[in-house]
Amino acid sequence: MDHDIELIVFDWDGTLMDSASLIVECMQSAIGDLGLPSRGDTEIANIIGLGLKEAVAALFPECEDSDRAALIGRYREYWLARQHECPLFPGVRETLELLHDEGFLLAVATGKSRAGLERSLQATGLERLFSSTRCADETASKPDPRMLLEILDELSVPACATILVGDTEYDLEMANRAGVPGVGVAYGVHGWERLAKHRPQAILERITTLPDWLAEQRAECERPSVHCAG
């Protein structure tokens, strides 16, 4: 990495919020209600990170559009009817506060709907920390790079001064296609091997190590022997 980082774009589910198990539970309930062919929990977990339309298409390629639309509607009913917000992963709030206080711009690029993200932001009180957010129902779904490119354009930050932090290969593929360095987190949906295939700058075991990693990158860039672009 040859440029100081100005902007950090985070995925949401599986990266900041520990929501994978509830997503699977809601999808299983919706599938059961509609009598669709059964799917394993792992199959459902593997499509977390995609937009809901794309996720359902990947999960049920053999189904008619009407059946997929019904599944999306029923899943949303279960998801929005839940009584409590999913927890943030340990250290997420403190890490985001620290990065914000250190002057980094923070953003979110997520496969969630706008309604779903707004609910989570309000419930967690994190909305004030993010300068930009993009959701899959208002732009192209990951791994298409459009939502990430829109954030860069809105905030006037170049790709080389940005990192994308995510827990799935969809996040890292999106980053690669946008020319943005990716950082994986190993505690989410996709494991080390799947993340490593996309050649991220790092794979972190805990989100709390991100500030130290960023400090190391900045120190490396500031060494006299290293050329810093920009």
Residues designated catalytic = 11, 13
What DSSP assignment string belongs to the chain? --S---EEEE--BTTTB--HHHHHHHHHHHHHHHTPPP--HHHHHHTBTB-HHHHHHHH-TTS-HHHHHHHHHHHHHHHHH-SSPPPBPTTHHHHHHHHHHTT-EEEEEESS-HHHHHHHHHHHT-GGG-SEEEETTSSPPTTSSHHHHHHHHHHT--GGGEEEEESSHHHHHHHHHHT--EEEETTSSS-HHHHHTT--SEEES-GGGHHHHHHHHHHHHHSTTS----
